[in-house]
Structure 1
């Protein structure tokens, strides 16, 4: 297919066979898989392309609650998700002496209201590999193509063209970049826009980052090895470094494993040192040096045994320990013509707020709704209008999540500002806690073309414009005989 931006066609839908737009999704991360799982429930053709040759069960733990529960229910996987996850109702902040400084209890309040009562679902912690496997199983294997590194993309009035490093080419109507912080789709799109003098200056700047993270997940542990493993609720413990620029967290899982993460906070000088490590992909190659640096950090286990990060490293398979950059940026440009971005490709959060995966999934719900509502044989202009609506609906929530993530990141640091935020959180009045929780859980998007999930929360979800996006009805083809009536 020859893509020519100057070529446009006069769409006479009545003389064309009903055809839904074909979607090419680049990136088989959580965002890309979620969009695939959603489109799988429609009649829209799609393919997913992943540059990695195989799936690796990397990462630590993630928090999910009422904001994703409706989507999981609509996809028919909520009960399975809950079975994989562990109920969580607090974060415990400790110091290097393994002493608890304070405990933040966020789902329940003194007036007796709880998360499930207010928002229709509880909060859970789940190991990232477990959630990834669950979402991977929602997409047929023949829809996912591994080892497909994108070399170039091209778009125009008559479609999109994807070229991969193995010499293969793929055609479609819509190109979705869900390929992470260093998205090849975004880079290709931005190169086109820059050439045409249409790229905002801020979008051309390098991704800023202020932290580096070491993550892992242990083998299944016994209560004798790690007493907190036996507790019914997830023990989410964040330890703050004293005189060193680190914080580290542990999470118990329903699989009796321990997910852990060590975060290094960078200043201007240390940022320059780490600038050579500009690869946001999960991988064990660069992890060994950081393991050595943090091995003596104390760990709270719930027992008398004085464990350290070294014990967690010893219990973790080497291939499951990885080091990752934690960039922070919301890009201005999310789409152009037939190309659109999703998740980390257009907004990268610090994971301290637990908002990255949630917002990628929210992107997928909103984008899926607008793609499904496109008319048959959509023009490039109609596709761009759908992308505009997607951006306008998502950007306020994304910016709010980005700001919240920065606050959580600072809160976990040893700075003066971090101490002030922790003090305010510790003594925040219940009324303010409740107000904050209501805002945090207000966005509970649903898939427009599937039966609605019942939301029993006393606090109603925020308005969702894409929920009114309707599946188009194919117009009668002039080449087809009219339907006979009896």
Structure 2
């Protein structure tokens, strides 16, 4: 039985950021019949990065959206990851195969551009506005107004910041809260970072030369540098490409120097080229190849260099504005949970928005945001902690060597317990037809889904006891908020 109610809220949602999280939210709102617009600062979105890991923690919602089969056709499962030294000798193995029993699926590796394009097809082109750099926003009881660098303005009922680690929406929101003295001190501090990352994905390679590509599973291989500040990762994809990533660990002095020079997570091609030259001789486990060989096999437009920040923000919303994904929890990529967490944020926030009445008040919206954060924050913190712990496997301090040694002899049961944490939470959209959960481990509670089901049961019971008022709710009121009223109200505040 579907959980959907006849008429969704008439609220208009402004989504800033057309990344994985923003597109997932847009796709869900599209299916829910809720009005929205996506704003993207770039002329076109180039999904940088090589690939990402997805598992049963997002598969159910992909099935609800009708794209799971296409995703699995373009992804490759992996059941283990192997660590190496610089002599190309295997030093440890992490077994991910219990994840299939826990959640119903093995983890899969999928190219980020492929996943992005699958999601993009779910969103009508006219609802994604490019070249829209957000400069500021105003919000009050009448609505929310955003101002773009091209002097255009847009207003709606809810603003969602899905625009990454250096979110313009978050910066505007925090500036507003700081003026009121309502911003926690920790949220006002800059994003800390101690690593840079060079990533790329090769063109399709000859499987006769790279024979491990013929295997049904992904080879996920990590090498920790010896007496050098680097660690590097390679993994194979469904289409005979190799994704690669080189991490450079920065000491405190270098971090401070970089921190004072800019506040942008992406660097230009010149910086990427410089690092490409620095890491060419790093050995990879296969074919006596080096990172330089993989760089040479990678189109230059698919190479990027980024800073790796870590921060879990405390403030996720205020009034009519809410944050998702990297805008409120930036994670180290070691566990592959950044994109997964953004997708899960989108599912829960979509459920909470769907619960809103027509013409929702600020109090209605605040309550929805409270539900969203209360469900997601503990899980985001768990993902953040997991990412932080796994990052220790490639660190360069003495204690990182100790951790790697302990992990080598760690009982399999301990790592399996961590997989339970990663894959027990398997959210679904409350307004779409539910799908059968395939895991043997009972899904972790999803409060937004439970509320929707309880409300549905109550409505069914009420309708069976009394005649339906055919006039009630038959007319959906249009949003009457004007730009002027928002501006004047915000000035008054």
Name the structure 2 match of 1:59: 49
1:70 aligns with 2:60: yes
Name the structure 2 match of 1:4: none
Residue 219 of structure 1 and its aligned partner are, at CA, apart by 0.6
Instruction: Decide whether the 8 Å contact of 2:9 with 2:354 is kept in 1.
Output: no
Instruction: Decide whether the 8 Å contact of 1:369 with 1:469 is kept in 2.
Output: no
Task: Pick from 274, 279, 287 the counterpart of residue 289 of structure 1.
Answer: 274
Name the structure 2 match of 1:460: 442
- What are the equivalent positions in structure 2 for 1:81-480 lying under 5 Å apart? 81-108=71-98, 115-275=99-259, 276-281=261-266, 284-301=269-286, 303=287, 306-470=288-452, 476=471
Alpha-carbon distance in structure 1 between the residues aligned to 2:311 and 2:474 = 51
Shift of the 230–274 alpha-carbon distance from structure 1 to 2, 3 Å rule, reads farther
Shift of the 83–479 alpha-carbon distance from structure 1 to 2, 3 Å rule, reads closer
Alpha-carbon distance in structure 1 between the residues aligned to 2:270 and 2:118 = 26
Task: Pick from 5, 30, 40 the counterpart of residue 40 of structure 1.
Answer: 30
Instruction: Decide whether the 8 Å contact of 2:351 with 2:430 is kept in 1.
Output: yes
Instruction: Decide whether the 8 Å contact of 1:373 with 1:469 is kept in 2.
Output: no
Alpha-carbon distance in structure 1 between the residues aligned to 2:117 and 2:159 = 24
Name the structure 2 match of 1:29: 19
Alpha-carbon distance in structure 2 between the residues aligned to 1:178 and 1:478 = 32
Shift of the 29–283 alpha-carbon distance from structure 1 to 2, 3 Å rule, reads farther
Q: Gaps spanning 5+ residues in structure 2: where?
A: 1-6, 460-468, 476-493
- TM-score when scaled to structure 2? 0.89
Residue 281 of structure 1 and its aligned partner are, at CA, apart by 3.6
Instruction: Decide whether the 8 Å contact of 2:19 with 2:162 is kept in 1.
Output: yes
Per-residue Cα deviation, 1:352-399 (whole angstroms, up to 9, x for no partner): 111100000010011000001111111011101110111111111111
Shift of the 283–60 alpha-carbon distance from structure 1 to 2, 3 Å rule, reads farther
Alpha-carbon distance in structure 2 between the residues aligned to 1:432 and 1:350 = 22
Residue 286 of structure 1 aligns to a residue in which SS?
Answer: helix
Instruction: Decide whether the 8 Å contact of 1:283 with 1:321 is kept in 2.
Output: no
Shift of the 381–89 alpha-carbon distance from structure 1 to 2, 3 Å rule, reads same
Per-residue Cα deviation, 1:188-242 (whole angstroms, up to 9, x for no partner): 1011101111111111111101111000011110024433222221011101100
Alpha-carbon distance in structure 1 between the residues aligned to 2:415 and 2:103 = 15
Alpha-carbon distance in structure 2 between the residues aligned to 1:199 and 1:414 = 35
After TM superposition, the structure 1 stretch with the greater mean CA deviation from structure 2, 220-229 or 236-245, is 220-229
After TM superposition, the structure 1 stretch with the greater mean CA deviation from structure 2, 311-320 or 462-471, is 462-471
Instruction: Decide whether the 8 Å contact of 1:370 with 1:469 is kept in 2.
Output: no
Name the structure 1 match of 2:485: none
Residue 431 of structure 1 and its aligned partner are, at CA, apart by 2.8
Alpha-carbon distance in structure 2 between the residues aligned to 1:465 and 1:479 = 29
After TM superposition, the structure 1 stretch with the greater mean CA deviation from structure 2, 49-58 or 428-437, is 428-437
* Higher share of residues assigned helix: 2
Alpha-carbon distance in structure 1 between the residues aligned to 2:128 and 2:258 = 34
Alpha-carbon distance in structure 1 between the residues aligned to 2:311 and 2:212 = 36
Alpha-carbon distance in structure 1 between the residues aligned to 2:230 and 2:473 = 68
Residue 264 of structure 1 and its aligned partner are, at CA, apart by 0.6
Residue 135 of structure 1 and its aligned partner are, at CA, apart by 1.2
Instruction: Decide whether the 8 Å contact of 2:8 with 2:32 is kept in 1.
Output: no
Instruction: Decide whether the 8 Å contact of 2:8 with 2:34 is kept in 1.
Output: no
Name the structure 2 match of 1:6: none
Q: Gaps spanning 5+ residues in structure 1: where?
A: 1-16, 109-114, 481-486
Alpha-carbon distance in structure 1 between the residues aligned to 2:161 and 2:474 = 37
Shift of the 70–139 alpha-carbon distance from structure 1 to 2, 3 Å rule, reads same
